[in-house]
Amino acid sequence: MKTKRILIVLLMVFSFFDSSAQSNSTAITGAWQTKEADKEHVLILQDGFFFHTAYNKENKRFVFSQGGRYTQNAEDLTAEIYFSTVNREEVGKKFNASASITGTTLRLFVNGQTLTWTRLDDGSAPLAGTWRITSRMQDGKLSPIHQTGARQTYKILSGTRFQWAAINPETKEFSGTGGGTYTFRNGKYTENIEFFSRDSSRVGASLTFDGKLENGEWHHSGLSSKGAKIYEVWSRVK
């Protein structure tokens, strides 16, 4: 089954070498896309994190998502799974594979199989990175959000794509994810939702917020999808 093969390949996505035979750790950074029958696969790699999701935007159907962190050692990269909606027993495991990039094409090689991806962007943008919320406006003042326990919410942004995921790597629990494309221009941050694991009715919606970068932090304010006022501060995950 092709979907299963793609999932296996992505669970083993990372032992990277550049097609020119020169190591280039940033070449794989950004967003990539491949298509399979009625499904679209998007892979985002940014600041040591990766998210891979399959969905059908036209039918508002979420298929699966997985993600985690990757590290580099010379020409090899190893991925550790933080969440998987297909098989929670993969959480905590590490995987390796090989890849090459030619122009805007990424080819992954695993067990004699080749999967080809097309670059969507190179991960260059003011908001590109992996973020966690660190404070929120309450009663007119910013209050720190203490990161306690194992439950984590990440938002990863490449040059054009975004995705958030609420997860708990310790218990292997997955709470939800959503994503799509975004723009950030003239102090306005807009998300265009292409998939949402918990509520397919949100697919196709666009949400616009006021946004600014201040001392390396992302200030994010406006109205939530439920109409509530929000003011949040997000910090890059290191």
What pLDDT does residue 177 have?
98
Q: Which two tokens stand for residue 176?
A: 């939800």
Q: What is the pLDDT of residue 20?
A: 36
- Backbone dihedral region for residue 111 (phi beyond 0: left; psi -120 to 50: alpha; all else: beta): left
Q: Can you give the residue ranges of every domain in the chain?
A: 2-121, 129-236
- Tell me the pLDDT tens digit for each residue of 155-170: 999 999 999 999 999 9
Coil, strand or helix at 120: strand
Domain 129-236 has CATH 3.40.50.300: no
Q: E strands, the chain, where?
A: 30-36, 39-46, 49-56, 61-73, 76-84, 94-95, 98-102, 105-110, 113-121, 129-138, 141-144, 152-157, 161-168, 173-185, 188-196, 206-214, 217-223, 229-236
DSSP codes of every residue in 132-146: EEEEEEETTEEEE--
Retrieve residue 109's tokens.
């090689």
pLDDT score for 11:
53
pTM: 0.87
Element (H, E) at 11: helix 2-11
The fraction of the chain above a pLDDT of 70, given in percent, is: 83
Region of poorest pLDDT, from 78-82, 112-116, 200-204 = 112-116
Which range among 2-6, 50-54, 65-69, 165-169 shows the weakest confidence by mean pLDDT?
2-6
Question: Same topology for domains 2-121 and 129-236, yes or no?
Answer: yes
Q: Which residue has the higher pLDDT, 25 or 1?
A: 1
> Which tokens is 204 given?
């196709």
Q: What pLDDT sits at residue 198?
A: 94
What pLDDT does 101 receive?
86
pLDDT recorded at residue 22: 34
Structural fold of domain 2-121: Lipocalin (2.40.128)
Distance separating alpha carbons of residues 198 and 115, to the nearest angstrom: 29
Structure tokens at 94: 């590490």
Give the model's confidence band at 70: pLDDT under 50 very low, under 70 low, under 90 confident, else very high: confident
